[in-house]
Amino acid sequence: MLPNADLKSHAANIRANIIRGTYHAASGHPGGSLSIADIMTVLYFEEMNIDPKNPKMENRDRFVLSKGHTAPALYATLAERGFFPEEEITYLRKLGHILQGHPDMKKIPGVDMSSGSLGQGLSIANGMALYAKTNNHSYRVYTIIGDGEIQEGQIWEAAMTAAHYKLDNLVAIVDNNNLQIDGTISEVMSPYPIDEKFKAFGFHVINIDGHNFEEIKNAFSEAKTIKGKPTAIIAKTVKGKGVSFMENLAKWHGSAPNREQAEQAIQELTGGAL
Amino acid sequence: MAEKLSTRAGYGKALVELAEKYDYYVLDADLAEATKTVDFSKKYPNRFFDIGIAEADMVGTAVGLSSCGATVFASTFAMFAAGRAFEQVRNGVCYNNLNVKIVGTHGGILIGEDGGSHQAIEDVSLMRTIPNMKVIVPADAIEAKYAVEAAINEPGPVYLRFGRYDVPVFNTDENYSFTFGKANVLKVGTDVTVIAMGDMVYEALCASEELAKEGISVGVINMHTIKPIDKDAIQTAMETSKHIMTAEDHNVFGGLYSAVSEVVAEFGGKISDKVAVEDRFGQSGNRADLQKEYGLTCENIVAKIRNLMKS
């Protein structure tokens, strides 16, 4: 187990690279990337059985970033974990480079599944979990879904499937940062109560603070003790978390920082330079 | 040629017959009786999952299974496989070039009584336009069986379109072989070559026999693989015959007529006529009545060729 201080330092580096990537790309989605940075840190530095030197290891735990537009968080995490050189971050969204605007399993080491079109990740994670069950593999499957994303009907089709096939090797994490492009999720199309919905669909549900390492770790541990049903972790998060001028503002969903903003953000996060 | 069997039945038989030779999963969306995956589901329950009435979720599940190394057949009606789940097929299956075989049964107008809402006349067009996707439309149950095996052996996504009704089985295990992307030239003709897919192959054969009596030489090509299409077979037909014609139970846009036209244009030729659904929806009716209403008959092919010969 890594001390929380180490996790904190990894998370800060990941957040700084989210800012660097979107700054260099002059586009992308920093807000929702920052909100999942702590969860990503725990997954890739604590929870998941993975090997950066062998990204296709057969019995590795699988990860599906269903909210694929927050690819900068996944890329920054994979770079921090050593799946590819950190320099790639500066070529995010550039022609001829591996880091596509949305995750691409054919091009990027460590990406288990392409994503970007919302609503599809839970179905795919189910397929991965079913494969493990039917082939006696012990790996577990993790997917992060946006709280706006659960407005997509396919999520609930997949929720039924996960419970129906008793996929206790599956953990769905809902990034409940409460904001989507057009405003708060309550204003646009309220999915609340999220926990009650997943409970009704047959999930074991855990509510946590998505920026508290202890709570994140404990939730993953608890999920492993649950037999016969999938787990949904509803993580209360802050969109833009860690960058003072980005927190809780929908406008940072899909716009990149300029040079001055990026420098300030990284100063706040790590005290480092752009 | 006495036996009649649907191509979907050929699919169902193939899934069972090939299950010991190959390792694959089969998914369905509450239509196992209709898509004929039911026998497989009973014999191999560990490799079959019914996802319920949720085609998008079914294709997503197939994507997940396949990303771990499995070959997966995802079966439902053509309308829902190519229509409802189009984007899951595009972004999940094809974008990642995964080993998922999308199976659309009940393709075309000639599925009969269910009517226009269920008669997919756009599926070949929709599937053909996606990069990495390959498209097969078998003409009888024997061909369907070999097409299933070919799809297993062809890496990456394949769309297979099957019909509902029992139709004449004109191929036999002894005389038949399926090569992916290579058309079966059933007859060579000097006046006209009819390039046909699915049910229309049999109608074209019938037309060829009928017109032979009048001294008109009509070739028939069974274009079972619509993508990648057999350019050589088309080019050869253009050299051998005065006219090229197409015949399909699909909308005139984007299907076989379009696919053959693209090749014919590349070689600087033209298609003289076609039998297809002329950009209108289907409706309820029995197969024979619908054939007449939409001109998907031996007689209509004969009439069109007689016209060509007059000009």
Q: Which of residues 15-74 of B touch A (CB under 8 A)?
A: 25, 46-47, 49, 51-52, 54, 56-70
Residue B5 reports pLDDT greater than 70: yes
Structure confidence by residue, pLDDT tens digits, B189-201: 999 999 999 999 9
Write the DSSP string, B10-59. Answer: HHHHHHHHTTTTS--EEEESS-HHHHT-HHHHHH-GGGEEE--S-HHHHH
A164 → chain B, closest CA residue = B51
The answer to whether residues B218 and B99 belong to one domain is no
Are B60 and A124 inside 8 Å of each other by CB?
Answer: yes
Structure confidence by residue, pLDDT tens digits, A1-47: 788 899 999 999 999 999 999 999 999 999 999 999 999 999 999 99
The angle formed by the CA atoms of residues B194, B195 and B201, to the nearest 5 degrees, is 85
Q: What is the pLDDT of residue B311?
A: 80
Instruction: Report cis status (omega within 30 of 0) of the bond before B228.
Output: yes
B292 min Cα distance to partner chain A (Å): 40
A103 min Cα distance to partner chain B (Å): 11
The rounded distance, in Å, linking the Cα atoms of B161 and B155 is 18
> Is B207 inside any structural domain?
yes
SS3 content of chain B, % helix, strand, coil (to 5): 40, 20, 35
Counted domains in chain B: 2
Show the tokens assigned to B5: 């069997």
| B74, burial (CB in 10 Å: exposed 0-12, middle 13-18, buried 19+) | buried
> Is B174 inside any structural domain?
no
The rounded distance, in Å, linking the Cα atoms of A201 and A231 is 11
Residue A263 reports pLDDT greater than 80: yes
The answer to whether residues B226 and B298 belong to one domain is yes
> Helix (H, G, I), strand (E, B), or coil: what is residue B248?
strand
> Is B118 inside any structural domain?
yes
DSSP secondary structure code for residue A61 in this structure: P
Structure confidence by residue, pLDDT tens digits, A186-221: 999 999 999 999 999 999 999 999 999 999 999 999
Structure confidence by residue, pLDDT tens digits, B249-267: 999 999 999 999 999 999 9
The rounded distance, in Å, linking the Cα atoms of A243 and A263 is 11
B84 → chain A, closest CA residue = A154
Nearest-by-Cβ selection for A131 from B51, B52, B68: B68
Show the tokens assigned to B100: 């998922």
The answer to whether residues B209 and B243 belong to one domain is yes
Label residue B181 left, alpha or beta by phi (over 0 means left) and psi (-120 to 50 means alpha).
left
Structure confidence by residue, pLDDT tens digits, A110-152: 999 999 999 999 999 999 999 999 999 999 999 999 999 999 9
Residue A242 reports pLDDT greater than 90: yes
The answer to whether residues B154 and B245 belong to one domain is no
> Is A178 inside any structural domain?
yes
The answer to whether residues B145 and B246 belong to one domain is no
Query: Which sign, positive or negative, has the C-alpha torsion A78, A84, A85, A90?
Result: negative
- The CATH number of residue B226's host domain is 3.40.50.920
Q: What is the pLDDT of residue B210?
A: 98
- The CATH number of residue A185's host domain is 3.40.50.970
The answer to whether residues B193 and B281 belong to one domain is yes
The answer to whether residues B147 and B45 belong to one domain is yes
Q: Report in angstroms the alpha-carbon separations of A201 from A133, A145, A198, A264, B49.
A: 20, 16, 5, 44, 19
> Is B263 inside any structural domain?
yes
Q: Which amino acid is at A13?
A: N
Are B61 and A124 inside 8 Å of each other by CB?
Answer: yes
Are A122 and B97 inside 8 Å of each other by CB?
Answer: no
The answer to whether residues B47 and B131 belong to one domain is yes
> Is B103 inside any structural domain?
yes
Structure confidence by residue, pLDDT tens digits, B91-122: 999 999 999 999 999 999 999 999 999 999 99
> Is A263 inside any structural domain?
yes
Q: Give the other-Cβ count within 10 Å of B278's Cβ.
A: 11
Nearest-by-Cβ selection for A128 from B56, B59, B68: B68
Residue B2 reports pLDDT greater than 70: no
Residue B165 reports pLDDT greater than 90: yes
> Is A184 inside any structural domain?
yes
Partner A contacted by B132 (CB < 8 A): no
> Is A274 inside any structural domain?
no
Q: What are phi and psi of B117, to 5 degrees?
A: -65, -25
Q: What is the pLDDT of residue A1?
A: 77
Counted domains in chain A: 1
Show the tokens assigned to A50: 């993975």
Query: Which sign, positive or negative, has the C-alpha torsion A184, A186, A188, A194?
Result: positive
Residue among B224, B185, B229, B225 at smallest CA distance from B208: B185
Which residues of B belong to the active site?
55
Average pLDDT over residues A53-72: 98
> Is A30 inside any structural domain?
yes
Task: Please give the mean pLDDT across all residues of chain A.
Answer: 97
Q: What is the pLDDT of residue A113?
A: 98
Tell me which residue range forms the domain holding B33: 4-168
The answer to whether residues B58 and B28 belong to one domain is yes
| Chain A residues in contact with chain B using a Cβ-Cβ cutoff of 8 Å | 62, 64, 105-106, 112-114, 116-117, 119-120, 122-132, 134-135, 153-154, 157-158, 160-161, 164-165
Contacts A154 to B, Cβ<8 Å: 54, 56-57, 60, 88
Residue B66 reports pLDDT greater than 90: yes
Would you say the pTM of this structure is higher than 0.90? yes
- ipTM summary value: 0.97
Tell me which residue range forms the domain holding A161: 4-269
- The CATH number of residue B53's host domain is 3.40.50.970
Q: Which amino acid is at A59?
A: N
> Is A241 inside any structural domain?
yes
Are B56 and A165 inside 8 Å of each other by CB?
Answer: no
Contacts A158 to B, Cβ<8 Å: 57, 60-61
Task: Please give the mean pLDDT across all residues of chain B.
Answer: 97
